[in-house]
Amino acid sequence: MTSYTTSSARAEMNELRRLKTLLPPELQSWVMIEASTEVNPPLVRTEELGKDEVEIQIDLAKWENLAIDQRNLLFWHEVARIQNDTIPKEGWEMAALAIGLGGAVGELWVQDGLLLLLALALCGISGYRLWQKNNGEKNLKEAIEADEKAIQIATRFGYTLKNAYQSLGSAFKTLIEQTPNRSQRKKYEERLQALRRSAAKAKQQKTPEGGNQPLKTPSVRSRSSARMKNI
């Protein structure tokens, strides 16, 4: 039993180290990768811990059920969110809303109009920020943008465009099958549909004007277009 536990812990540490090597060089000094310690955590969660510190938390028990290529693309999705600056900031909104509501009730009692307006303004600002964080349409748009950027990051690490699309698509299919929560499953389905549209658009991209003229040596762009036709 002890040997199995030690082996499992070693495998988890090796996976965290491997993921660290998948960070673009410009992120390696301030992005940390840790195993999640929560009870029933999400598969991957990225949080801003400070002004120059971000942490990616991974549920390694669920993570190991995915193929390596699937893990890589899902990890690069989180990297893309960091680069796009769409990860959650410090959660001050709930505290501010509670203070504002408490202040508003208190000022109604003492009938101080100016302080009541300030308390209501605090409620309005914090409430709007909470609405922004929980806006499903906005969150889906950001997730799709991060998926597209994850494809670009994958090509920087040696993936062909076709393999990058296939790996992320297969990851979504696996998560759809394994996710019991209907709302979360629907989000994966919507992202998969968007990914398919993106892949179809990449296939249909035409070569630049004059690209069909015979050349002795095909250009880099021409070779890239030829590969995309096979996706």
Domain boundaries along the sequence of the chain = 93-133
Helix and strand numbers, DSSP H then E, in the chain: 9, 3
pLDDT of res. 6: 73
pLDDT of res. 109: 53
What is the separation, in whole angstroms, between the first and last Cα of the chain?
46
* Residue 29 reports pLDDT greater than 80: yes
3 state SS for 126-140? HHHHHHHHCCHHHHH
pLDDT of res. 3: 59
The proportion of the chain whose per-residue pLDDT surpasses 90, expressed as a percent, equals 52
Q: What is the pLDDT of residues 1-25, one digit of tens each?
A: 455 567 778 889 999 999 999 999 9
Q: What is the pLDDT of residues 207-226, one digit of tens each?
A: 454 344 333 323 333 333 34
